[in-house]
Amino acid sequence: MIPVTGFDGARVGVLGLGRSGLTAARALQAGGAVPVCWDDNPAARAAAEAEGFTCADPGRAGAIDGLAALIVSPGIPHLYPAPNPVVAAALAAGVPVDNDIGLFFRSLATRDWDRYDTAPRVVAVTGSNGKSTTAALIHHLLAAAGRPAQLAGNIGRGVLDIDPPGDGAVVVLELSSYQTELARALTPDVGVFTNLSPDHLDRHGGIGGYFAAKRRLFAEGGPDRAVIGVDEDAGRFLAGQLAEAPSDDRVIRVSSGQKLGGPGWSVFARKGFLSEYRKGRQVGSIDLRDITGLPGAHNHQNACAAYAAVRALGLAPRAIEAGLRSFGGLPHRSQVFATAGGVTYVNDSKATNVDSAARALASFPRIRWICGGLEKEGGLAALAGATGAVVRAYVIGREAAAFAMQLDVESEVCTTMAAAVARAIEDAGPGETVLLAPAAASFDQYDSFEKRGEDFMAEVRRRLAG
């Protein structure tokens, strides 16, 4: 655990008692603070009280008075579409509002670091798509090279729940826009921006607010090195804002699909080959085509970003290549989990928006596409032109018929996962891929995208075994 510093003896409110909130309460207490906790869910309050924490309704008159800070869980809005009433009361009373990410960055460094030969480093990854894979891949590359590393944040453990890092250790964080938008301290050594596509627009008041939340990772403290995906306008703009000159190698530009030139530092993938260029000269190259854990151009972009991040930490290209080849991929993210009769089965349930689904559709030939669910703001227009490899779509979800009408491919309304899998397996032939890439959220039928992916894999395995 990382004890939170700076609040010794002070009362600190903790709003939301999920994984991050309860861990924040423990870390505050470990640092000498007095947490005052609340969650609208009685079961969550009971769990906190069972650990000895005081729960008090912050909505009652005067409850905010005397708090040194209010720590808010990521799912609780503080501005858009409307502030949570407790957050609004704290802001009106001048009580600082923060989250566990801000507490982490203000508390990580200790006097123990003075005796280390190499101070611990923090790599923080954000973006719309690919950040989980990129963060996990960075962690894997470090571990494979023998560097002590921990993975936390939006993936793995809560940031305050990790062990205090030792000499030369690295903490890899995946950070969502919900986490970066509120943290009062954001000071990674290496910051990674994968890409930007519309998502969570209601929470951020539009695409500009969404980008602003991501940009804070690079603007609030300024990482020593910034790894920026430049395949979209937002990334190119961000790289341009951060670089002092074309040769400024504090900014490492990454791309999948285009060769990057100029005198700076860049890493890009074209036709399956990763290349690293510095000062106009190639200094590294890796063939990604036969690395099964990283299929498709979108994963090649993830590989470029991870490669750049660990190169900034001093890993050699040969060590990185060995780590890439041993990476097994993440569940529910272009996960090849079965082959039978010449047909490949891929679970990309994490493709919850149209951009991530389009990336998955570009990764495989002759696709039997299972899609549908709770449609996100903006509709499916961005899928136009991305479905060239799709032989047929099998649409699930409560609004499957309406979803199918928006597709530019032959489709079949199946509604349930069981029916979609049955029809896709019946139709699929050798050389084809049955791909779950929903382009929608799961909450109309499932508690999470993980549950949806697990159901898909279970149905496939049951029918293949039968």
**Annotated binding-site members for ATP:** 127-133
Annotated binding site: 127-133
- Residues 302, 308, 313, 317: is their CA dihedral positive or negative? positive
Q: Specify whether the CB–CB gap between 265 and 251 falls below 8 A.
A: yes
The C-alpha atoms of residue 224 and residue 232 are separated, in whole angstroms, by 23
The C-alpha atoms of residue 4 and residue 27 are separated, in whole angstroms, by 5
Question: Per residue in 306-340, is it b (16+ CB within 10 Å) or e — as a string?
Answer: bbbbbbbbebebebbbebbeebebbebbbbbbeee
The C-alpha atoms of residue 186 and residue 26 are separated, in whole angstroms, by 21
Q: Which residue from 181, 192, 183 is spatially nearest to 135, judged by alpha carbons? A: 192
- What does DSSP say about strands 34-38 and 11-15: parallel, antiparallel, or unpaired? parallel
The C-alpha atoms of residue 466 and residue 379 are separated, in whole angstroms, by 37
Residue 230 belongs to what H/E stretch?
none
The C-alpha atoms of residue 375 and residue 48 are separated, in whole angstroms, by 35
Q: Specify whether the CB–CB gap between 124 and 176 falls below 8 A.
A: no
The C-alpha atoms of residue 353 and residue 375 are separated, in whole angstroms, by 8
DSSP conformational letter for 441: B
Please state the separation of Cα 235 from the chain's center in Å: 16
The C-alpha atoms of residue 309 and residue 446 are separated, in whole angstroms, by 35
Q: Specify whether the CB–CB gap between 163 and 152 falls below 8 A.
A: no
The C-alpha atoms of residue 117 and residue 249 are separated, in whole angstroms, by 25
Give Dmax (Cα) for the chain. Answer: 68
DSSP string, 79-106: SSS---HHHHHHHHTT--EE-HHHHHHH
- The 3-state DSSP class for residue 261 equals coil
